A and B are shown apart, each in its own frame.
Chain A
């Protein structure tokens, strides 16, 4: 059954190194010299980096808040993370076009208040807002798992010694959650590398990401060799990061 997955991957590797069945590195060479690819590559990294960092910043307080609830309340809060998690990314992206568009909710409201309006769609802002929204649950889960695994006596001990909540957080809880944050970062970063619908729906011409470029080469220019080469690069980047994630998980015990 795993063949179902291995075989298609094999095809990608084969295609990326061959043109008309002849071995060549031409695909990779022309990609690396193509301004389009280089631009898309950096755009992808930039969007992924910013979106994952923002998602972590938004997700951390959520995880912290949930971790401090009693078990029953916690499962209620978790539903509020799980619901968006299981909502179709297409629905969420569409929702953002409705909210952020020129005739969208925010701009309509601003217009009604006679305030200046903003372009928030078909640009970087739109992609980042919707991507972050998609990534937050993925940031919450590893951080929450880490926070729940922390020894509650550490906080109590610090409290008895006179430490206030802020000091307990910055000196104990936060440093100890480092591995959870790192795991969350790698996870969200890898997921955003592969974003497809969000940049297509909310981005402008300059916000194309690697998945969209693969689509472009496959459908519009029928350049399967280039498309496969991009897929290999994407796969390789993700795999390296995931191996890193595995290392982080392995060392989690120590923290």
Chain B
């Protein structure tokens, strides 16, 4: 800057011009209403009339819940969903955690590509996965079995576990593992004694949400479940057209409550992690 600076010969410059903009809050709250109301409106209906939907409900009774718990097909479907969800979550959690750890701690050249392949089921349309699994199980003769359902859900859950656990591993301090290996711990020992305990919050939240995803999963189950292995969402889906009773309102309410519980549980796990981090530093 060696040019001779001059006095700016600018005259008085006018006043700024502007408007008020109070709309964001209103728009956001309308959106929240749009997001939350549908599920909330189901709740009063689930306590209402047994034969048809009446709104606002004129009476309060548990008839629909009673109906659900006394209908063996509904109970069977619910048990089946819980079974499939538990099994596939357990398998996906094991495989997904190992895969996430392997990917995060390896210096493979194809790491990026591997990750894309592993994660793609998360984003490609569920119906494509469903049809693929359907053809595959038809060929190997597993169609309609619980095994097929568990395998299918595991394929669908694994990418989610990998993403969640990888995020947890990224937060870990790799030097602790180095320290452990310097002290003579083997790879297996390091993984079980050092890595897993630190990952507990991620594992808890991955497990909870995997369970929920599997329990609510419709498309894959719709393609590969059989008459004897119908899951709850499949039964709900096929009964929307046929069922006249608003029993689905009761089921929907219970599913919504399950989602809320799982969200709160995961939030609790997250806070635990925050506390652990705060205690460390």
Which residues of A pack against B, CB within 8 Å? 1-2, 4-12, 15, 58-59, 61-62, 64-66, 68, 79-84, 86-92, 94-99, 103-105, 108, 133, 136-137, 161-167, 169, 190, 193-194, 196-197, 200-201, 210-211, 214-215, 218, 224, 227-228, 231, 234-235, 238-239, 242
Contact = CB atoms under 8 A, between A and B. Distances in A.
B122 to A, nearest CB: 10
Contact of A95 (B38, B133, B135): B38
23 contacts: A2-B117, A7-B136, A62-B28, A83-B39, A90-B252, A91-B39, A94-B249, A103-B53, A108-B55, A133-B38, A164-B16, A164-B20, A165-B18, A166-B20, A194-B125, A196-B127, A214-B131, A218-B223, A224-B135, A234-B128, A238-B123, A239-B120, A242-B124
Contacts of B32: 62, 80
A87 B39 contact: yes
B255 A88 contact: yes
A31 B107 CA distance: 45
A239 B124 contact: yes
Interface of B: 15-21, 23-25, 27-28, 31-32, 34-36, 38-39, 41-42, 45, 52-53, 55, 95, 99, 114, 117-118, 120-121, 123-129, 131-136, 139, 151, 154-155, 158, 209, 212, 216, 218-219, 222-223, 233, 236-237, 240, 246, 248-249, 252, 255-256, 259-260, 262-263, 267
B124 A211 contact: no
Nearest to B139: A11
B131 A83 contact: no
A5 to B, nearest CB: 5
Contact of A83 (B21, B36, B133, B249): B36
A61 B31 contact: yes
Contacts of A210: 125, 127
Contacts of B128: 9, 12, 194, 231, 234-235, 238
If over half of B's interface residues share one DSSP class (helix, strand or loop), that class is named, otherwise mixed; here it is helix
B91 to A, nearest CB: 10
Contacts of A79: 263, 267
A94 B127 CA distance: 20
A103 to B, nearest CB: 7
Contacts of B55: 105, 108
B28 A66 contact: yes
B125 A99 contact: no
Contacts of B237: 90, 197, 200-201
Nearest to A12: B132
Contact of A80 (B36, B135, B154, B158): B36
A228 B240 CA distance: 27
A218 B259 contact: no
A90 B221 CA distance: 13
Given A61-B31, A97-B240, A8 B133 contact: yes
A11 B19 contact: no
Given A65-B25, A165-B18, A238-B123, A218 B134 contact: yes
A1 B236 contact: no
Contacts of B53: 98, 103-104
Contacts of B19: 164-166
